Amino acid sequence: MTTTTTTSVEAAIRAANADGRAALIIYLPAGYPDLETSLACLEAAAGAGADLLEVGFPYSDPLMDGPTIQAANQVALDRGYTPDDDLAMCGRLTAAVDVPALVMTYYNLAWHYGGVERLGAFAAAAAQAALAGAILPDLPAEEGDAWRAEAAAHDLATVFLAAPSSTGPRLDAVAEASSGFVYATSTMGVTGERASLSDRAAPLVARLRERTGKPVCVGIGVTTRDHAAEVAGFADGVIVGSAAVRAAGDGGPDAVAALVRDLAEGCRRR
């Protein structure tokens, strides 16, 4: 299955690049610290300069997530929020902002939504909420055809992840299967704020560029404006998660907006 259609996700990244900057992609979890505040934080991120939003759907076994995001997800789970609640919030979000939003969650949630082996139900629900795509970080590109078919049928982009340790064949598979953008992880391990960026991100982006003309965006560990500026020098987009989640918990929408404005300044190439 070959993906060639330009999605609204890719178009947003290309528009940012044409404006002389790397696209800024902000991750925030649905339901943290509660649904209404998470909606307000996502809206604040869009208003402050985020080009794309990743909406995390909390999951009980978040393999990729570090302590900040794990703790936020647990708050949402403890409040009893369900994927239906998260999707309803996303519908309100996409009606209120002009930037594309993607769901980021784990494959088991999509697999079981609406009943076992009902991937199409989750894709349809995401499309009904006007989401533009999905990131399922534990779904290997080589095993993603079933999901990709359902996603394509509902005009959803599917973003796959590439790690610094990925072999050539794995990068080929990720580059081929991804639509919207390719997610290059800057380091091995889980998400989290870092004092400095890994020196493995730029070589990974270079390896991906040898394989695809699709946008390549870098996440995991990007924390500060200086980090954003560094990534903007070699990637098409900058993904920030844990720092945004911390801001949401510490100061709500105002703190998120302040962080995003600072990161957006770093994303502008000079």
Report the C-alpha gap between 123 and 139 in whole angstroms. 15
**Please, which residues bridge with residue 158 across strands?**
134
What pLDDT, on the 0 to 100 scale, is given for residue 195?
A: 41
138 part of the active site: no
Work out whether strand 237-240 and strand 133-135 pair parallel, antiparallel, or are unpaired.
unpaired
Burial tier of 178 (Cβ tally within 10 Å: 0-12, 13-18, 19+): buried
What pLDDT, on the 0 to 100 scale, is given for residue 64?
A: 66
Please pick, among 10, 43, 51, 65, the residue that the annotation labels catalytic. Answer: 65
Distances (CA, A) of 3 to 160, 175, 181, 206: 12, 10, 11, 21
Does CATH place domain 8-267 in 3.20.20.70?
A: yes
What pLDDT, on the 0 to 100 scale, is given for residue 36?
A: 98
Q: What is the pLDDT along the chain (270 residues), one digit of tens a residue?
A: 444 456 999 999 999 999 999 999 999 999 999 999 999 999 999 999 999 999 999 988 766 667 888 899 999 999 999 999 999 999 999 999 999 999 999 999 999 997 756 789 999 999 999 999 999 999 999 999 999 999 999 999 999 999 999 999 999 999 999 999 999 997 544 444 444 466 889 999 999 999 999 999 999 889 899 999 999 999 999 999 999 999 999 999 999 999 999 999 999 965
Query: Rg for the chain (alpha carbons), in Å?
Result: 17
Q: Where are the domains of the chain?
A: 8-267
What pLDDT, on the 0 to 100 scale, is given for residue 270?
A: 52
Distances (CA, A) of 57 to 19, 134, 178, 264: 31, 11, 20, 25
Distances (CA, A) of 12 to 143, 174, 218, 249, 258: 27, 20, 16, 28, 22
Alpha helices by DSSP H, listed for the chain, are 8-18, 35-48, 67-78, 83-96, 107-112, 119-128, 145-153, 168-177, 201-209, 225-232, 242-267
What pLDDT, on the 0 to 100 scale, is given for residue 2?
A: 45
CB 253 within 8 A of CB 40: yes
Q: Residue 79 carries which DSSP code?
A: T
Burial tier of 71 (Cβ tally within 10 Å: 0-12, 13-18, 19+): middle
What pLDDT, on the 0 to 100 scale, is given for residue 186?
A: 75
Report the C-alpha gap between 8 and 179 in whole angstroms. 10
Distances (CA, A) of 62 to 65, 66, 70, 76, 86: 6, 8, 7, 13, 16
What pLDDT, on the 0 to 100 scale, is given for residue 192?
A: 41
65 part of the active site: yes
Please pick, among 54, 86, 230, 236, the residue that the annotation labels catalytic. Answer: 54
Q: Residue 54 carries which DSSP code?
A: E
Work out whether strand 133-135 and strand 23-29 pair parallel, antiparallel, or are unpaired.
unpaired
- Output the six-digit token pair for 189: 């391990």
Residue 252: partners with Cβ closer than 8 Å, 6 or more residues away: 33, 37, 40, 41
pTM of the model: 0.93
